[in-house]
Structure 1
């Protein structure tokens, strides 16, 4: 196993990685890496941004490389991850929605960031070096929520038990107006027969999609569960925020303004700057609130188009974006308004798309001709009035003569 991982590492020795600044103290120097590589089980709901820290490395190692292999895959399928941007964090606004893994991750401060994760991102992630060394590893399980069902069946078997583990309720995502609280429940399995190399806090518990679960277990296809409830809290003052145990994202700060241009008829996902998976995020379109609880089984909001929804990663998704979606959007983070996004959705004509093929072309031409007819009528009316005035003036002068 180790030999095959090392062989894959040799194939990708010339890859981008993160190098520690020489003038900074190496915070990893005092933490020893395990002698036997084990995989830390980590489970997330699909759509969130996942950060996998490289918790340990030798002091002499100044550069790390991340490797990825899908669950149940062979070691020959191991891939080295490179963002082709060196040590620069990717701009999340330029990351396409639901695209390949290679276009949705970045390496920063030895940590691997994966944006808008999906079930296909589940697998084994190893932090290592270009010298056949491996320091820390993860067994990542990304669970996708079934859109039309939030039911969860507790399944018991003589060899294992399937259950759901809920996180604590989030804080109210808005203040001063009705808001919502959200909690996420992920699928886990309890068994005495889990693989010892893939570990969680409890060695007899692992997420349902973990490689620690034996392939012989015929697990039910259970997705995560998301629960939403309403809330209403007043907006605390600055002193109250300093006294309460809110995160730094809740502190009163000037709301930054972002400008975004996006072509029409393509998928757009807006992310709230600074949001993390365990934070409360809310979205407004100008003065209108977008609530998750108003999303029906078919994915409709009571006021907004069914094209617009909030996904499980707290992104505001337009599927697709239309010109009429242009406007001002606000995102809330931990109960405080965090950002203002001014969105402009513009018409983009492709190489094979003609102007007259646009669905609004006929209405636009009709509007132009109507405007031209009205202007022409007004011009003719002005000419007639001018001629009438001149004729009346000539008649008066002739009569006086």
Structure 2
């Protein structure tokens, strides 16, 4: 990327409000007081709740790598701020800790990766309060389809495992998110994740040997599960006469403003604060707005990223018309304002004439320099004449 280092002219973030809104909008479909098994998208932040904590609880979070047959659970976060001990798996624990934070005992993984797939447990001392089996699926290779283009989703597949039976691989979908904008044509999306179930006898598809399980978790016990079925993003057009519920205070306090000083024909990438694949987001530039449909039909040069479902806007090979104000909206609330500035290299600055005072000083300086130079010449001549005589 050829982007020149940016200059931030104002950042105003209300952290408690943003954190609470993230937790409210991104929730896991898990049974209460029972182990939770689910699939999530990599590179998108996610909170894991630790319910029923006591007031002065010493909360710790542990991680177990399901792909290591003899792995042990390692502690990587503690409410007292202690770092992981130098034991087996400490490097993994430190890596997880660098990408996570605790908020009132709840765990927020800020940038999960595919290799973070495994078991997460929350403990109060030695008492287990929460248990999650999570498959972080690769959002970097997400499959995107748009209903308005007649594009189909990934088909269900059957894979023969020999004596183990047959595995059925399919997509499990989240609910449709709200339309990304109001009172005008917009888009909405839903996220799908790869799941699989093992059937003992392919002639009796209802005879399930192992129920629906996220593909990554099932692959930890059966490496024959195919890798070609990826997470999905399904998009369709929408038009909702909705009303945003954000207060005036929230609109002001949660907006981030950023200034990008760059060059003509450079590239710029803008990241919308608090955006993720689980939340509706859209971008505007002046009176223009951008849709995934425009990108898929190649009717715009800008690129909405796939990993976060449009949370980043990439502007390649900047033209003069690309300069100006860009706005992004998350949950239909203005969240970021970015000023892309391209300096005009055609106009060179004209030197302003000297003031009267500056002119006098320059004239005196030149006179003194001339007198000094004449004095040096005269001294040199006298010395030369003495040498001759």
Task: State whether TM-score is above 0.5.
Answer: yes
| 1:80 partnered with 2:75 | yes
CA contact (8 A) 1:329 1:340 kept: no
| 1:285 partnered with 2:289 | no
Counterpart of 2:177 in 1: which secondary structure? coil
> What are the residue-to-residue correspondences of 1:73-222 with 2, within 5 Å?
73=68, 78-82=73-77, 101-129=96-124, 131-145=125-139, 146=141, 152-156=154-158, 157=160, 158-191=165-198, 204-211=211-218, 214-222=221-229
- Could you report, residue by residue, the CA deviation over 1:223-282 in whole angstroms, capped at 9, with x for unpaired residues? 012111112233x4xxxx5xxxxxxxx415223232235686898562344x67543222
CA contact (8 A) 1:48 1:276 kept: yes
Instruction: Tell me how far apart the structure 2 counterparts of residues 103 and 269 of structure 1 sit (CA, whole Å).
Output: 24
Out of 30, 39, 44, the residue aligned to residue 43 of structure 1 is 39
Instruction: Tell me how far apart the structure 2 counterparts of residues 77 and 318 of structure 1 sit (CA, whole Å).
Output: 42
Number of residue-to-residue matches in the alignment: 281
Query: Structure 2 regions of 5+ residues with no counterpart?
Result: 1-31, 83-94, 146-152, 201-208, 354-389
The residue that corresponds to 1:55 in the other structure is 51
Q: Please report the TM-score for the alignment, with normalisation by the length of structure 1.
A: 0.56
The residue that corresponds to 1:270 in the other structure is 271
CA contact (8 A) 1:328 1:340 kept: no
The residue that corresponds to 1:305 in the other structure is 302
| 1:258 partnered with 2:256 | yes
Instruction: Tell me how far apart the structure 1 counterparts of residues 324 and 257 of structure 2 sit (CA, whole Å).
Output: 10
The structure whose RCO (Cα within 8 Å, separation 6+) is larger is 2
CA contact (8 A) 2:60 2:75 kept: yes
Query: Structure 1 regions of 5+ residues with no counterpart?
Result: 1-32, 88-99, 194-201, 242-249, 348-359, 377-401
Instruction: Tell me how far apart the structure 2 counterparts of residues 112 and 367 of structure 1 sit (CA, whole Å).
Output: 53
- Could you report, residue by residue, the CA deviation over 1:110-136 in whole angstroms, capped at 9, with x for unpaired residues? 21111243323322212125x554432
Root-mean-square deviation (CA), in Å? 4.2
Counterpart of 1:191 in 2: which secondary structure? strand
CA contact (8 A) 2:112 2:136 kept: yes
Report the structure number with the largest CA radius of gyration. 2
Of 151-160 and 161-170, the range deviating more from structure 2: 151-160
The residue that corresponds to 2:294 in the other structure is 294
The residue that corresponds to 1:65 in the other structure is 60
CA contact (8 A) 2:179 2:188 kept: yes
CA contact (8 A) 2:62 2:73 kept: yes
CA contact (8 A) 2:42 2:112 kept: yes
CA contact (8 A) 2:137 2:231 kept: yes
* CA separation of 1:312 and 1:108: change in aligned 2, threshold 3 A: same
Could you tell me how far 1:187 is from its partner in structure 2? 1.0
- Could you report, residue by residue, the CA deviation over 1:342-385 in whole angstroms, capped at 9, with x for unpaired residues? 325689xxxxxxxxxxxx9xx94x753xx559x89xxxxxxxxx
CA contact (8 A) 1:184 1:225 kept: yes
